[in-house]
């Protein structure tokens, strides 16, 4: 068994989440693949973004003070691209890694004015880096938007090898749509916990919250041939016990930490 080391939202402990800087850092420190979130702009362009609103990880409030609540779907792509998606990381040090000396001054300077990437840029980067990516399809707020269809179409347009792309979502209907559109793209069902999965598994792979599952649940599903990935696994003790239980992959904010555990 080989456990995949998945960098959660890129390497977000060492760089601003869901940016190409985070992806590059995760690649540099040895993650097997990176996980990121797909959202949409007002014009339907696909971007990498986690939250419904731009507030937490950009300077949208300062740039556009009269346009609250700053949902991604209220802004055009050029407006979102004008935002600074990196300075917040430098200013808040969300994982304490700047204070710990794990981020160099040169890296910190480069993060200032880091932009929100498009999905097109992310897929091209993944292809050129000879790497893999897990795309989490988010709920697009306040609009009826064919996210699954648009993502699958872009993968096909760019001629990305399908084994480089995994699509995951809490919205399992989006996964079914992807399967209908391109059965060669791997899908993974996001779930809070594994209750009921053993009795009626629809998908081959489930991604569950670490704090909501037990090692025994993972072990039982593994024995039945159902793959279980866990998120977000940041403590070495949790990494070791879920690896022992048979987890197929661990998503972490610290791929460098998981790499060391796997090497042990």
pLDDT over 90 percentage in the chain: 95
Tell me the CATH class for 4-263: alpha beta
Per residue in 194-249, pLDDT (tens digit) is 999 989 999 999 999 999 999 999 999 999 999 999 999 999 999 999 999 999 99
Q: Is the peptide bond before 232 cis (omega within 30 degrees of 0)?
A: yes
Task: Look at the pTM and tell me if it is higher than 0.85.
Answer: yes
Other CB atoms within 10 A of residue 67 CB: 14
pLDDT tens track for 30-83: 999 999 999 999 999 999 999 999 999 999 999 999 999 999 999 999 999 999
| pLDDT, tens digit, 9 for 90 and up, residues 86-95 | 999 999 999 9
Q: Rounded to whole angstroms, how far apart are CA atoms 44 and 118?
A: 11
Predicted confidence (pLDDT) at residue 1 exceeds the cutoff of 70: no
- The span from the CA of 20 to the CA of 10, in Å, is 8
Is the pLDDT at 253 greater than 80? The verdict is yes
Q: Give 132-168 pLDDT, tens digit per residue.
A: 999 999 988 767 899 999 999 999 999 999 999 999 9
Tokens representing 212?
């909501």
Q: Domain residue spans in the chain?
A: 4-263
């Amino acid at each position: 068994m080989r456990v995949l080391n998945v960098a959660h939202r890129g390497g977000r402990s060492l760089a601003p989440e869901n940016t190409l800087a985070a992806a590059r850092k995760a690649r540099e420190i040895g993650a097997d693949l990176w996980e990121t979130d797909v959202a949409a702009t007002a014009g339907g362009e696909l971007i990498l973004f986690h939250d419904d609103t731009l507030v937490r990880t950009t300077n949208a409030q300062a740039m556009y003070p009269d346009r609250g609540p700053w949902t991604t779907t209220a802004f055009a792509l050029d407006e979102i691209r004008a935002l600074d998606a990196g300075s917040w990381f430098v200013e808040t040090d969300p994982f304490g890694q700047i204070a710990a000396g794990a981020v160099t001054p040169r890296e910190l300077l480069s993060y200032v004015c880091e932009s929100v990437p498009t999905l097109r840029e992310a897929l091209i980067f993944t292809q050129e880096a000879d790497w893999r990516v897990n795309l989490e399809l988010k709920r697009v707020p306040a609009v009826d938007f064919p996210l699954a269809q648009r993502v699958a179409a872009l993968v096909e347009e760019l001629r990305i090898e399908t084994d480089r792309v995994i699509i995951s979502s809490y919205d399992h209907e989006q996964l079914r749509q992807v399967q209908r559109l391109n059965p060669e793209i791997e899908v993974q069902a996001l779930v809070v916990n594994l209750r009921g999965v053993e009795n009626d598994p629809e998908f081959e792979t489930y991604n569950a919250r670490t704090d909501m599952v037990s090692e025994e649940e993972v072990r039982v599903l593994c024995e039945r041939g159902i793959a279980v990935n866990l998120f977000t696994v940041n403590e070495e003790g949790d990494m070791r016990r879920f690896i022992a239980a048979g987890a197929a992959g661990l998503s972490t904010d610290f791929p460098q930490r998981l790499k060391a555990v796997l090497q042990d």
